[in-house]
Amino acid sequence: MSTSNTKGFFSFLYKDAIVAKPGFNRWLVPPASIGIHLCIGSVYAWSLFNLPLTNHFGVVAPAANDWNLSDVVWIFSVAIVCLGLAAAYAGKWLEEVGPRMVGVVAATLWGGGFIIGSIGIASHQLWLVYLGYGVFGGFGLGLGYVSPVSTLIRWFPDRRGMATGMAIMGFGGGAMIAKPIKTSLLGYFAVAPEYLGSEGLVSTVTEGGRLFAEKAGEKIEVVIATAKQAAALPGGGEAGVYVVGSGDTGASATFLTLGLIYFSVMLIAAFSYRVPPKDWKPDGWTPQPDSAKSMITKNHVHIDQALKTPQFWQLWIMLCFNVTAGIGVIGVAKTMVSEIFGSNAVLIEMATTSTLVLLFFANYVVMLSAFNMVGRFIWASTSDYIGRKNTYHCFFVLGAILYSSIPYFALQASADPTTVLYFAGFCIASMIIFTMYGGGFATIPAYLADIFGTMHVGGIHGRLLTAWSTAGVLGPLSITELRSYSLNQAINDLVQKIDPSKFLDKFGAPVEQLDQLVAAKTVSIARLMEIVPEGTIDPTPSLYNTTMYAMAGLLVVAFVANLLMKPVNSKHHYQGDPTKA
């Protein structure tokens, strides 16, 4: 049913107004899809905001009133949850109104979400950041994500995997482009806090777990920065005491700038969308007959009926567990590699003498994004030849092995910090993992079209993305909770090895106030390692071991779900005219 004449001024946004004319080149559609996905794919670079948001007042180091990592990491989760919810609704809406309308609304929500988040950061109101970036931005993510999928499948019925791989490749590459942009903006808008002097020259006192110093007869809250933390300040800095609230991380202004940029780019891309005429087919292409081996059907399943099939829920489990295994790592990727290998003596020396090694450390998130992006195109295109089911077998079998290998590399690197071999193994494993993480997203739309037909593939895909929403909670929850448990255990173990008098001299408070000092961020593993007995092993590299084994277990379950996949029973096939459904 046409809706273009029922919306007055906005009729130019509906699909009836964007039907391609004869002779239209279908290869003009993918760039628009990639443009939108590059913008919304910047969500994968969320970990770059973790430090600025958790150092809002302290800037150079966390202050007592700053948000915790566990507070801000959930913003990413909320965005992913809202992505799935929006996609579940927008998938069917997309079939009615077309990709241009959905793209315009996505641009408004994604760009506007950044602007609201900017206000929340400036006023230090966490709920506004959740509302803007998490809720509104998340809805924009979901709408932008589904806007090109069914359109591309219809434009490329002969290359379903490749077509969806092209569009969703942009989503994976969003972080690669966003990382240098976000880093540059944060550096441009940041203001270094006031420096009082080195730790030994400034008299400080601990009250209620907080650190204070005197300036001009007035007691002011301060933080103590290590040389590494100070070096990250604009223009560099010195280790020592800094005044809380006297600087700016630049996060608020960065959010505002990105919101305006993303809105503009996505709006232009949305107006470039076109849909194929009814019954359009590529020149010289003939649909292949049904094949039980390839599981590609010529029949169609209605969106509401699809949810009644076991195949939908098998695919839901496969997507959910594959994403859960990867999404938690994405949120803390930069933090994880720093914690696992940050104390490796050889790597530190190489980073100080080799520009190439230094650039690799600084751009680790970009590297993950690059493999995530390339994997989406390569794996999805490969699935056109080896089949979707076999492709997912590769994801789950190889993925389980690689996730299980990460604790091994972390343990060996900690035991032998004089070699880079284990760091290389960790990098290779993580890069391959992220090709399959991205490949899972890019291949799922073609898998759905193979099993349920193309009639409502956009809507079915949208509802399947609720698995992504679920994974958006499970992933960060598992990695933060398990890491938090491991962190507390590690701190308690280290404190038991330290002389109480040394602890009192270092932190200005007795061991009995440990919980309070940890909550105020005064005590950390790094600072405890400065006073532990010689020969004590740093527990930081093992903080993620349990999580990695748990993720490998999820992939084993997903493998079983894929192994049992069969063609949809004929009783679920739609019997009417697909064009009128």
**Per residue of the chain (581 residues), what is the pLDDT tens digit?**
444 445 667 788 888 888 888 888 888 888 888 899 999 988 878 888 988 999 899 888 888 888 888 888 889 889 988 988 888 887 778 878 888 999 999 999 999 999 999 999 999 999 999 999 999 999 999 999 888 887 888 888 888 888 888 878 888 778 778 888 998 999 999 998 988 888 878 888 888 778 888 887 788 888 888 887 888 888 888 888 888 888 999 999 999 999 999 999 999 999 999 988 887 888 877 766 555 445 777 788 988 899 999 999 999 999 999 988 887 666 566 666 766 665 554 555 554 554 555 555 566 666 777 888 889 889 989 998 898 999 999 999 999 999 898 888 877 776 776 677 877 888 888 889 989 988 998 899 889 988 998 778 878 888 898 888 788 778 777 777 877 888 888 889 899 999 888 888 888 888 888 888 888 778 888 888 889 888 887 787 777 788 888 889 999 999 999 999 999 988 888 776 665 55
State how far the Cα of 412 lies from the Cα of 253, in Å rounded to an integer.
Answer: 42
Structure tokens at 527: 């600072």
Residue 286: partners with Cβ closer than 8 Å, 6 or more residues away: none
CA dist., res. 273 & res. 568, Å (int): 32
Domains recognised in the chain with CATH numbers? 18-191+248-279+302-497+536-572 (1.20.1250.20), 192-247 (no CATH)
For residues 490 and 339, give the distance between their C-alpha atoms in angstroms, rounded to a whole number.
13
SS3 168: helix
Reading the block at residue 340, the tokens are 């696992």
Query: How far from chain centre, in Å, is Cα 280?
Result: 37
Q: Please, are residues 369 and 171 in contact by the beta-carbon 8 Å criterion?
A: no
- Dist CA 166 CA 161 (whole Å): 9
Q: What is the pLDDT of residue 397?
A: 96
Query: CA-to-CA distance for 234 and 232, rounded, in angstroms?
Result: 7
* Environment class of 342 (CB within 10 Å of its CB; exposed 0-12, middle 13-18, buried 19+): middle
Q: Are 223 and 276 in contact (CB under 8 A)?
A: no
For the chain, how far is it from start to end, CA to CA, in angstroms? 10
Cα separations (Å) of 420 from 342, 449, 544?
12, 45, 19
Question: Has this prediction a pTM greater than 0.75?
Answer: no
Question: Phi/psi of residue 275, each to 5°?
Answer: -115, 150
Neighbours of 7 (CB within 10 A): 13
Check if the beta carbon of residue 435 is closer than 8 Å to that of residue 378: yes
- DSSP at 552: H
**Under the phi-then-psi rule, with left for phi > 0, alpha for psi from -120 to 50, and beta for the rest, what region is 248?**
beta
Alpha-helical runs (H) found in 55-158: 69-97, 99-122, 126-129, 137-146, 149-155
C-alpha to C-alpha distance for 382 and 535, rounded to whole angstroms = 50
What phi, psi does 569 have (nearest 5°)? -60, 140
Backbone angles phi, psi at 274, to 5 degrees: -140, 150
Task: Name residue 212's beta-bridge partners.
Answer: 205, 221
